[in-house]
């Protein structure tokens, strides 16, 4: 029985992680769309590239 519970916990955690990943991606896409309403695609790309670099440096 505990093996079944452990497996259900693993499936639940994986489902939550998958949902959060999809929701985060959707939110990011909405933020990018908002950026594009007030600046050029090149300006938005430069900002996003700088943010990506900062994220990589933080590891």
Residue 1 has pLDDT above 80, yes or no: no
* pLDDT of res. 7: 95
Instruction: Provide mean pLDDT across the span 12-23.
Output: 98
* pLDDT of res. 59: 86
What is the rounded CA–CA span in Å between residue 49 and residue 35?
A: 14
Instruction: Give the pLDDT confidence of 40-49 residue by residue, as tens digits.
Output: 999 999 999 9
**Which of 23, 31, 24, 25 has the alpha carbon at shortest distance from 48?**
31
Within the chain, residue ranges assigned H as helices are 2-36, 41-58
* pLDDT of res. 23: 98
Name the token pair of 22.
């999809």
Instruction: Give the pLDDT confidence of 23-59 residue by residue, as tens digits.
Output: 999 999 999 999 999 999 999 999 999 999 999 999 8
């Amino acid at each position: 029985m505990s093996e079944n519970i452990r497996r259900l916990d693993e499936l639940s955690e994986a489902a939550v992680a998958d949902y959060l990943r999809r929701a985060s991606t959707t939110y990011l896409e909405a933020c990018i769309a908002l950026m594009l309403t007030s600046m050029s695609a090149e300006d938005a790309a430069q900002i996003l590239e700088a943010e990506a670099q900062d994220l990589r440096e933080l590891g």
